[in-house]
Amino acid sequence: MYRIGVNLNPRVENEGDPAPKFGVLFLSPAIALSTENLSMKPLPILLLLTVALSASAIADPSPRITPTVRLIQQAEPAVVAVFSEQGQGKLSSGSGAIIHEEGYILTADHVVRDRPGWVLLEDRPPVRYRMIGRSPEKDLAVIKIDAAQPLARIPLGRSHDLMTGEPILAAGNPGGRGIVFSSGIVSSRQVLLGMNALVMSQFASDTRDRFILFDAASNPGNSGGPLLNAEGRQIGVVCGKYKEEENENFAIPADRVRRHLPSIVAAQQRGGFSTGIETDPLAGEATVVAVAADSAAARAGVQPGDVLVQFDGKPVRDAVDWHLLLVGRKPQQSVELIYRHAEETKTVSLTLDDYPLEPSVAEEGRSPGLHYALYTGRYTAMPDFSAIKSQAEGATDVFHASKVAGDLKDGYALVFTGYVKIPRTGVYTLGVSSDDGSRLYLHDELLLDNDGPHPAQEITHVVRLSEGLHPIRVEYTEISGDEQLEVYIEGEGLTRQTIPAAMLFRDGENGEG
């Protein structure tokens, strides 16, 4: 007597033997089913064997193929090695992740800076990358490679709901050796770099950036690579480690990437066109949150709350896709836009407008320098200047806190007003670096909000400006510690520099403010 069965997970006796592709049929002494019965009733037996073998073919061939292995198999084609030229034949190695199938790669800014270089993909020859946009102060950059066909991608996830202890994978190019994966957990959802927890407990309103702490192995060359959760989504960009401590590695949270990506890419400012659409960077879909009046989108009927579905024949999955698909577009170009309004899907033709430029003002009747107003008080954040009275006012040649504040070291605020002279129409990066709170307004629009308290911290924004004078206002709050305020400009032939006195003007002539 024999029992017929199928082993769906057979043991492989020899490590050198490949795992079988289907289950193993076995016979063993058991119940009353004789060889005579096998010959007498072939149809049920054959049917039993067919069903058993079909089921075994569907099952995983080996217990070695764990969820982690499957996750790596899915992500590996979208993780890239990045090599940038440092001059004199030297290369700097780092990592990146493809976030869009057309070849857009997210990496850390210190991996590429403004240097040319190559990207190495799995089983492909090296290919040159080009810079799309960068944010040195946030250590983020987007580069692009040309792709003859769609590439594998890693979707950019969210970091707001991270759990301490949840499993993660870190991927990258340590030592320039190619793509390597390591596993671990989220050790902390948000940590401050180089700060003592007891000291920081005294600063409830602190606004400085936090980072994801993880314990997976990470070494020089991993920077710029993705930190992946168990769903295969990128929840962070690897950016550094504590060399003095074991298993202390850091990643920039995905939500910070999402918030800054529109300014990093700045497709409309750089391309000189406008859609009139503003999307929610954190939403799971490309959700419209604002539509500019009399814009291309307004004329096409797009409204806040609508969801963008397709642009120029390509899917728009979220705000990341939206901004990347805008790269390279031109003014007056007509494209097809498909969006969802309530339960209705609409298809419209969108003609891209010229980018709206704020008009410059005349230089006549204005003097070199800035007007300032000084306020004193024990501030914990930027005060409401309309509700307090200044203690002193006057003129100064540049944005400089301690020069105006004199003997005051803490507990004061400043407002600088005037005009910045733009040498020619084009694209510029304006930035503010301050040790506590700072804000920059251009044409009365809040462009940079760097409110404190925090140590020296930079923030930038890409703008498109016409030649001439433009109204500028900078607010600064010194709460405690160092007094640092720098307002700088870069672009259209200008290397990064503190805005010089020659570019600053104020109302009034002959020293009158």
Tens of pLDDT, residue by residue over 3-14, are 434 343 433 333
Residue with tokens 């901004």: 323
Q: How far apart are CA 382 and CA 436, in angstroms?
A: 9
Selected catalytic residue, list 92, 223, 295, 367: 223
Question: For residue 508, what pLDDT band results from cuts at 50, 70 and 90?
Answer: confident
Other residues' Cβ atoms within 10 Å of the Cβ of residue 210: 17
Other residues' Cβ atoms within 10 Å of the Cβ of residue 216: 23
476 pairs with which residues across the strands? 414, 438
Q: How far apart are CA 432 and CA 98, in angstroms?
A: 30
pLDDT at residue 4, rounded to an integer: 39
Q: Is 400 in the active site?
A: no
Residue 442 in tokens: 């251009």
pLDDT at residue 38, rounded to an integer: 38
Q: How far apart are CA 19 and CA 387, in angstroms?
A: 76
According to DSSP, residue 435 is labeled S
Q: How far apart are CA 248 and CA 449, in angstroms?
A: 31
pLDDT at residue 403, rounded to an integer: 86
Selected catalytic residue, list 56, 84, 109, 110: 110
Strands 211-214 and 180-191 turn out to be antiparallel
Q: How far apart are CA 433 and CA 484, in angstroms?
A: 7
pLDDT tens for each residue of 324-351:
999 999 999 999 999 999 989 999 999 9
pLDDT at residue 406, rounded to an integer: 83
Q: How far apart are CA 421 and CA 149, in angstroms?
A: 45
Report whether pLDDT(466) > 60: yes
Residue 241 in tokens: 């480690």
Residues 413 and 434 sit within 8 Å (Cβ to Cβ): no
pLDDT at residue 197, rounded to an integer: 67
Residues 81 and 95 sit within 8 Å (Cβ to Cβ): yes
Other residues' Cβ atoms within 10 Å of the Cβ of residue 242: 13
pLDDT at residue 457, rounded to an integer: 85
> Considering only 34-48, 375-389, 499-513, which range has the smallest mean pLDDT?
34-48
Q: Is 360 in the active site?
A: no
460 pairs with which residues across the strands? 431
pLDDT at residue 206, rounded to an integer: 64
Report whether pLDDT(322) > 90: yes
| Contacts for 425 with CB less than 8 Å, ≥ 6 apart | 357, 465, 466, 467
Smallest Cα–Cα separation from 218: which of 181, 257, 165? 181
First vs last Cα of the chain: how many Å apart?
A: 109
Q: Is 110 in the active site?
A: yes
Residues 368 and 501 sit within 8 Å (Cβ to Cβ): yes
The dihedral through the CA atoms of 230, 250, 194, 402 has a sign that is: negative
pLDDT at residue 201, rounded to an integer: 62
pLDDT at residue 29, rounded to an integer: 35
Residue 351 in tokens: 């003609």
Radius of gyration of the chain (CA): 30
Question: For residue 405, what pLDDT band results from cuts at 50, 70 and 90?
Answer: confident
Smallest Cα–Cα separation from 509: which of 413, 374, 398, 366? 366
Smallest Cα–Cα separation from 403: which of 394, 137, 411? 394
Coil vs helix vs strand at 174:
helix
pLDDT at residue 45, rounded to an integer: 47
Smallest Cα–Cα separation from 298: which of 270, 339, 269? 339
pLDDT at residue 481, rounded to an integer: 72
Q: What is the largest CA-CA distance in the chain?
A: 118
Selected catalytic residue, list 109, 139, 306, 353: 139
pLDDT at residue 124, rounded to an integer: 86
pLDDT at residue 49, rounded to an integer: 46
Report whether pLDDT(56) > 80: no
Mean pLDDT, the chain, rounded, equals 86
Question: For residue 454, what pLDDT band results from cuts at 50, 70 and 90?
Answer: confident
Question: For residue 123, what pLDDT band results from cuts at 50, 70 and 90?
Answer: confident
- Percentage above 90 pLDDT, the chain: 70
pLDDT tens for each residue of 340-396:
999 899 999 999 999 999 999 999 989 999 999 999 988 888 899 999 999 999 999
pLDDT tens for each residue of 182-238:
999 999 998 877 666 666 566 656 667 889 999 999 999 999 999 999 999 999 999
Phi, psi of 373 (to 5 degrees): -130, 130
